[in-house]
Structure 1
Amino acid sequence: TTDIEPVLLPPKSPNMNAYLERFKRGLKSECLNKMIFFGQHSLERALKEYVAHYHAERNHQGLDNQLIEPDAEVGRVAVKIECRERLGGLLKYYHRDAA
């Protein structure tokens, strides 16, 4: 278990937790509304892939367009740029090819 304590908010008050509301909006529009899930396992796999994309491959305006948890290869200077895809091409991430 984790030591995370949920904070209960009043009903219909999305402005009190704007960061979570933005994450939920992105999750719905970029992932959940574009897929059909066949059981809990496929939903959990999609959520895992989206969270990995969100933390390591997606730029965040609130962090000056930086990544939350960049990989070691981010920022390397190389010639070729490659595209990585998650969820069958639904989520895309461009990176420089390792030398």
Structure 2
Amino acid sequence: MQFWYLFLLTMVGCMTREQQHVIDYLQTENSILRKKIGKKRVLLNDNERRRLAVKGKMLGRKLLSELGAIFTPVP
């Protein structure tokens, strides 16, 4: 039983690390894109806005502001 528990913890740790690397990469990519576009507005279609709204709602406004997202939800 202990072997499987240790194996499971190891796998979860690896997945968490990998996910953090993906998040770090995407945050860096977003900050670079934000600097490149400056104050220009990027226009989204309805489907793109809807997709971002669904994902953003799960995160909440506070976390979205900490992430430095390129798009911001409308109040």
Coarse TM-score class (shorter-chain normalised): 0.3 to 0.5
Structure with the higher fraction of residues in strand conformation: 1
Structure with the higher fraction of residues in helix conformation: 2
Bigger-Rg structure (1/2): 2
User: What TM-score do you get using the length of structure 2 for normalisation?
Assistant: 0.34
